[in-house]
Structure 1
Amino acid sequence: MTELPMGSREVRLARTRAGLPAPGDFEIVSVPRPAAAGEVLVRNLCFLVSASLRQMIVKGASDEKGVPFPAIRTGEALRGEALGEVIAAPGDSGFSSGDLVVHFLGWRDYAVVPVTQCRKVRDDLPDRAAHLGHGWTAYAALTRGVAVRPGDTVFISSGGGAIGSMAAQVARLLGAARIIGSTSTREKADRLVAELGYDAAVHRDGPPILQQLSEAAPEGLDVFLDNVGGEQFQAGVAACREGGRVVVLGTLSQQLAAEDSGNSMPVPLDSTHILMKRLLIRGYSADDDPDARQEWERHLGDRLRSGQIRFPHVVVEGLAEAPRALERTIRGGYLGTVIVKI
């Protein structure tokens, strides 16, 4: 066995600000390699860069009820979903050296993870990084949060993000007939159609979103999966036809607003639409349905190998590049899931 280095690196929050973060707000610190001490020692291979991290590091961030990830204080290491290899584990933990695991202590070379917070995954995917994909979130939302039916017209806001880039494929698997995504620019809208399987895309740089939706889906929407909030939530609800189903997964427009803390997302709605069209609107967390993740992962390898599902992602090489990758992710500079390879 190769001797392990005595040191490790981690990305820490150096300072907070009220606006969007910049690379200078973080520092890479060398620390002694942590000891397992009755927990699982993991060598991280790669980790997910999520725009929602901004909500945890903004100045004045606090632990929010219903949000599973606590705020990060100045001087603390950043956190996020990571894929790693077990180096050592307690004998009765169910983990062994060499196991591949997913946990939430990314942004560092080595992590000591409580046994209950480590999840073993199979090492049989064409690309190991696909374990960090959010196809399972989209699958849970579109089968449990709402039920996509054959022939449905589906609108997915933030269609090029980590969830949205998988959601179009999931909706198609479930029989959706027409799938529309939203994004920030005309260029990215074209890429949603050309690369991610959308039938049409709307974008913030164009006419009002509701006008674009009315042109893309003149008969209205059956399902609206919202990751954004704000104008897009308002427009998506208005564009639903009778019996439309709306599932809310996120509020990116507020989380990423430069002048706001990202912890609230007020938006006016015309309740006449909800009443007269008999709309169903619900907030949803995929964590509430762990069986959906098990279903998704059971078939993921086969679907990736057959080409039935793709994993659109960008790989950023090296821990030192992670802060810049976070800034670019928050500003919408990537398409698909963003992975830092250590």
Structure 2
Amino acid sequence: MNARAPQRRSNPPPPPGLLVVDKPGGWTSHDVVGKARRLVGTRKVGHAGTLDPMATGVLVLGVERATKLLGHLALDTKTYLATIRLGAATTTDDAEGEVVSTADASAIADDAVDTEVAALTGDLSQVPSTVSAIKVDGRRAYERVRAGEEVTLPARPVHVGRFDVLARRREGEGLELDVLVDCSSGTYVRALARDLGAGLGVGGHLTALRRTRVGPFTLAHARTVDELVAEADGEAGRAGLSLDLDAATGTAFPRRDVDAAQAADLAHGRPLPPSGGPGTTAVFGPDGHVVGLVADTEGRARPVLVLAPAG
């Protein structure tokens, strides 16, 4: 009689929370998710918002139950550091596209640049880049463009709260600008580069892009892929979270503490007395753990998302 082979024990799943990654250039957001799944030891990983492959910087990932949180996070504003080259327009509005026109931008006055930058600050109606991930009849715009189709995207309202020129470099017939942009979600910095060049009559495109903030999460929360790999190769055997579920919700939303009875009500999906503030609030039980998210509706704080299991 053959002895039964010993069963291999699998590691328990990681706790729920957020992993904030400093995305390297050349990686897609999906590449980072795939790597994170191996490093933290679970398939339950998703990302909040995307970054172009050429871009680097803050990418927020949800792990385990925190994936449910991603769609509710206050990620409505973002900050970027970018480099814009004036004097050439490309098919993709960035350096990865083919050059479609060139012009001498060396003589453009600083005042002219400042005037056009000011015109691209505030509430705007922006036409997204045609190689964006926006869906057109069920397919991504960039997929249609790469298939040789002509794509026209409608303008959409965006807000650019800050568009500052940090440095200027004149190189041959080109003019390079290092800029800082604070903007609403859905704003394309590539499109700002395109429109700035068009406004100055010389064309423009993006040559570098780094996201330094997504909502309340910054590079201070982020770790590089190499740092995560080194951590996973260490004694723990996997990479840890940037913020556990409690810290993540406490960072992203106003906090409300409730007693045990109200925590039990919310865990069962029942409404609470109103919070009295606008937007979404994170509710914490007497044990200090988050129970769920609520928003005031019709005189009650009604569940938006229950994060703690009943009981």
TM-score relative to the length of structure 1: 0.22
Decide which structure has greater helix share: 1
Structure whose alpha-carbon radius of gyration is higher? 2
Decide which structure has greater strand share: 2
